[in-house]
Copies of this chain bind each other. A is one copy, B any other.
Amino acid sequence: MRWKKISDAVIRRLPLYLRVLDELSADPETELISSQDLGFRAGVSPALVRKDLAWFGEFGKQGVGYEVAFLRDELRRILNLDSELKVALVGVGSLGVALTRYNIKRYQEDNSFNLRLAALFDSDPKKIGIQIEGIPVFSIDQIGEKTEELGLQMAIITVPFESAQIITDMLVNAGVRAILNFAPTKLVVPEGVHVANADLSLELQRLAYYLQDEE
* Chain A interface residues toward B at CB < 8 A: 1-2, 4, 8-9, 11-12, 14-16, 18-19, 41-43, 78-81, 85, 87, 93-95, 97-99, 101-103, 106, 113, 115, 153-154, 156, 177-180, 184, 186, 192, 194, 196, 198, 200-215
Contacts and interface: CB of A to CB of B under 8 A. Distances in A.
Nearest to A13: B206
A8 to B, nearest CB: 8
Contact of A154 (B43, B94, B95, B208): B208
A211 B177 contact: yes
Given A12-B206, A180-B207, A196-B206, 17 more contacts: A1-B212, A2-B215, A4-B215, A11-B209, A43-B186, A80-B212, A87-B204, A93-B98, A94-B94, A94-B101, A95-B98, A106-B201, A115-B204, A115-B205, A115-B208, A196-B203, A198-B200
B79 A209 contact: yes
Contact of A208 (B81, B101, B106): B81
Contacts of A12: 206
A95 B102 CA distance: 8
A2 B79 contact: no
